[in-house]
């Protein structure tokens, strides 16, 4: 490896100046952005501990590796194995074609959050032990994160270690006992969740990698808890250098990879044709695999070539049956092909070629009949320009709305005093919630609420906001206690105090709700969705609690909890949740702010909900103001649900029972148009809904509709 790698990474004695990147498992289009040689993270980890993992490499079960020392992966990627006569051990095989199938194997809490919580709690111990002001906790925690303190803690020869800390330009010696560090680590490890995942997925083998296991007591506890269901390698040994030396001599592949399902779509004789690449496994370090896209002609015969009669053409394409989304712009991509020879050859017969050699940058190319390579590139795919009328709001437009809304508000955050004010507020609650008088707590909450503004952030766009995340971490520790206990009046509470506590309770909910996706760093907000509480006849600030639950449903887990309320009965309103105006308000906003319409697993749920909501609306009287308000939000929800047509044309298709019932609802609202000041359109919502049903909505209507807040 390159000599500069001495400062970072692992240097291998192979007399090569080449850098090898370690990257998370990804499809071949993403891998093409690396621009050099790479190894997948799970492959690298496997070869690190290959001699210890052979029981699993010889098993028929796929292997799941949880590596808590790495950033949280976007997807879980199981490893399968293949025996090779030239390799010292079975080689891992990567398959990125259906990674969403393994979402249930994900840990709810990020690896970063686990480590941050450990540093925070160790900092608590240090600050108390040194007799420092509690306000120094954040600085100590940040320092521990920066130095990766676990790498400096060797408890093999002593039960304690001493750290040198710099706080406010002064140096301190902090003694950390193995007992304290072990307790903090153990309290933060997702042991119960791992046990549940393993119990629910007996067809997989599981391995846990973490520097936490360097502590003997932590490793022993894990072995007692999991017995043989979770393997914990000895991470003090590493096989990779010796494996690399053997590879240089024998030339065996370090891994194989299934070729992704890549499809392009063209129109021919009024029909959509799918040009697909064949399935096969390619191997790192082996001869480059060259495959061509093919489509089926009318007789079933496979064909590679298709005509290009214009200077350029833009083809929609999918990878692993889903649109490819650019990680930087969050926009769907299309494949643009240009005929640079158009002046001389206006008509070409072209074919798509894919060249792949795992571990190196793949190449997607277009060739004409003379084997000349045409210009081609990925561009943002504008769904909305495909036709003059539409039957749904395109997901690309909703995604663009989320991106622009978030960018705008992140900019506002950076230009305001929010960081300072929010930090002061969180520090006060965290430091004083146990000791201060109720009056001080309620006044501080109300004061902050009076000056704060909503921060509508549907997505964070990979933004790094450490100041805010740290403060939400403090807030997380007091939220549930304040909302469920401290700010809940008792029978003996005086009327004046009761009113003040109710106001503070509501204001704290508003502060939390108005943070939207910033709350993604709060690990546990499940108490907001508590069915046992929300279904009671008496609930403090029920409306605002439910509205807040919708506002913070930025994760799939929270969305799932919100949707589970749909058919539940609440005695607070004496009806099912979906029949309440507050729940329907949140339901509609979830679809705009957060829901991943490309997630096919949601289709059946929303099909059922569509029918139920339409049926309920048909039972209401739009001339009654409260019922008209409900119908307004229900129509917004129904309009956004039609976006599922983008991935499933059968969703509320014409002449289906769902379509006929929806048309019946539109007919019933002819004389009572439902207008919305929150939607930037002049037409009634029921008219837009009817036009979308029939596929006759204009692009301008669609663009304006998605501006609703």
C-alpha 43/C-alpha 517 separation (Å) is 33
Residues 267, 245 share a domain: no
Residues 197, 71 share a domain: yes
Whether 370 is covered by a domain: the verdict is yes
Residues 248, 356 share a domain: no
Q: Residue 612: in which H helix or E strand, if any?
A: helix 603-618
Tokens 């002064």 -> residue: 170
C-alpha 508/C-alpha 37 separation (Å) is 51
Beta strands in 106-192 (DSSP E): 160-167, 170-177
Domain boundary among the residues 347, 381, 415 is at 381
Whether 647 is covered by a domain: the verdict is no
What is the span of the domain harbouring residue 36? 3-108+190-256
pLDDT for the residue 32: 59
C-alpha 539/C-alpha 219 separation (Å) is 44
Intra-chain end-to-end CA distance of the chain, in Å? 52
Domain boundary among the residues 347, 365, 381 is at 381
Q: What does the block give as tokens for 17? A: 């100046």
Residues 62, 211 share a domain: yes
Q: Is the full-model pTM beyond 0.85? A: no
Whether 57 is covered by a domain: the verdict is yes
pLDDT for the residue 18: 62
C-alpha 375/C-alpha 686 separation (Å) is 46
C-alpha 35/C-alpha 203 separation (Å) is 36
Q: Crossing angle for the helix pair 466-481 and 111-130, nearest 10 degrees?
A: 80
pLDDT for the residue 635: 96
Whether 702 is covered by a domain: the verdict is no
Residues 218, 170 share a domain: no
Half-sphere exposure of 93 (CA within 13 A, CB side): 19
Helix (H, G, I), strand (E, B) or coil at 282: strand
Residues 180, 36 share a domain: no
- Mark the ranges of the chain whose per-residue pLDDT is less than 50: 1-8, 269-270, 383-388, 709
- CB atoms inside a 10 Å sphere around CB 674: 21
Residues 349, 251 share a domain: no
Residues 199, 90 share a domain: yes
Residues 222, 90 share a domain: yes
Residues 303, 220 share a domain: no
pLDDT for the residue 73: 87
H helix count then E strand count, the chain:
23, 26
Whether 147 is covered by a domain: the verdict is yes
Number of domains the chain contains: 3
pLDDT for the residue 415: 67
Whether 79 is covered by a domain: the verdict is yes
363 closest CA partner among 275, 262, 256: 262
Residues 366, 326 share a domain: yes
Domain boundary among the residues 350, 381, 412 is at 381
Whether 468 is covered by a domain: the verdict is no
Residues 41, 101 share a domain: yes
Q: Residue 361: in which H helix or E strand, if any?
A: none
Whether 437 is covered by a domain: the verdict is no
């Amino acid at each position: 490896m390159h000599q500069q790698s001495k400062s970072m990474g692992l240097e291998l004695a192979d007399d090569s100046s080449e850098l090898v990147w370690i990257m998370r498992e990804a499809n071949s289009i993403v891998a093409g952005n690396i621009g050099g040689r790479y190894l997948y993270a799970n492959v690298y980890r496997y070869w690190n501990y290959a001699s210890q993992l052979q029981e699993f490499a010889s098993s028929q079960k796929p292997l799941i590796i949880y590596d808590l020392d790495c950033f949280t992966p976007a997807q879980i990627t199981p490893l399968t194995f293949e025996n090779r006569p030239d390799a010292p051990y079975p080689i891992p095989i990567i398959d990125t074609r259906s990674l969403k199938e393994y979402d249930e194997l994900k840990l709810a809490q990020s690896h970063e959050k686990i480590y941050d919580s450990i540093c925070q709690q160790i900092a608590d111990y240090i600050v108390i032990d040194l007799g420092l002001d509690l306000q120094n906790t954040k600085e100590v925690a940040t320092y521990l994160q920066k130095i990766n303190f676990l790498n400096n803690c060797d408890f093999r020869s002593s039960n304690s270690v001493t750290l040198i800390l710099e706080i406010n330009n002064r140096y301190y010696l902090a003694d950390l006992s193995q007992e304290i560090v072990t307790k903090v680590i153990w309290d933060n490890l997702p042991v119960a969740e791992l046990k549940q995942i393993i119990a629910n997925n007996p067809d997989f083998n599981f391995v846990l990698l973490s520097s936490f296991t360097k502590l003997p007591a932590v490793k022993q506890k894990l072995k007692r808890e999991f017995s043989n269901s979770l393997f914990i390698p000895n991470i003090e040994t590493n096989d990779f250098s010796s494996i690399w030396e053997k590879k240089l001599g024998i030339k065996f592949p370090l891994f194989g990879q299934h070729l992704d399902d890549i499809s392009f779509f063209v129109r021919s004789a009024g029909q959509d044709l799918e040009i697909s690449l064949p399935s096969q496994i390619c191997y790192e370090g082996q001869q480059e695999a060259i495959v061509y896209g093919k489509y089926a002609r009318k007789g079933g015969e496979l064909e590679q070539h298709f005509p290009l009669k214009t200077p350029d053409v833009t083809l929609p394409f999918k990878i692993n049956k889903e649109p490819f989304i650019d990680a930087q712009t969050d926009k769907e991509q299309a494949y643009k092909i240009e005929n640079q020879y158009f002046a001389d050859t206006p008509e070409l017969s072209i074919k798509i070629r894919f060249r792949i050699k795992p571990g190196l940058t793949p190449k997607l190319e277009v060739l004409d009949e003379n084997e000349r390579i045409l210009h081609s590139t990925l561009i943002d795919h504008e769904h909305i320009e495909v036709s003059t009328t539409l039957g749904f709001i395109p997901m690309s437009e909703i995604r663009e709305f989320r991106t622009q809304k978030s960018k705008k508000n992140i900019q506002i955050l950076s230009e305001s005093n929010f960081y300072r004010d929010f930090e002061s507020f969180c520090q006060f609650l965290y430091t004083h919630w146990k000791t201060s008088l109720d009056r001080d707590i309620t006044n501080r909450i109300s004061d902050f609420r009076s000056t704060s503004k909503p921060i509508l952030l549907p997505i964070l766009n990979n933004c790094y906001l450490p100041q805010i995340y740290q403060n939400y971490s403090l807030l997380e520790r007091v939220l549930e206690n304040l909302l469920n206990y401290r700010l809940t009046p008792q029978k003996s509470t005086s009327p004046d105090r009761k009113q003040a506590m109710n106001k503070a309770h509501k204001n704290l909910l508003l502060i939390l709700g108005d943070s939207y996706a910033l709350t993604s760093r709060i690990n546990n907000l499940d108490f907001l969705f508590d069915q046992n509480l929300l279904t009671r006849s008496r609930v403090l600030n029920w409306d605002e609690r439910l509205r807040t639950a919708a506002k913070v449903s930025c994760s799939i887990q929270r969305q799932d909890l919100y949707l589970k309320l749909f058919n539940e009965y609440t005695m607070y309103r004496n009806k099912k949740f979906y029949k309440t105006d507050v729940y329907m308000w949140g339901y509609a906003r979830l679809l705009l702010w957060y829901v991943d319409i490309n997630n096919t697993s949601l289709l059946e749920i929303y099909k059922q909900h569509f029918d139920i909501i339409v049926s309920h609306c048909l039972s209401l009287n739009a001339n009654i103001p409260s019922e008209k308000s409900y119908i307004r939000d229900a129509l917004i929800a129904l309009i956004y649900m039609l976006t599922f047509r983008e991935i499933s044309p059968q969703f509320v298709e014409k002449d289906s029972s769902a379509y006929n019932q929806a048309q019946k609802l539109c007919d019933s609202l002819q004389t009572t148009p439902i207008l919305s000041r929150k939607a930037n359109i002049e037409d009634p919502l029921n008219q837009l809904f009817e036009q979308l049903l029939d596929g006759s909505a204009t692009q301008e209507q669609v663009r304006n509709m998605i501006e609703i807040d």
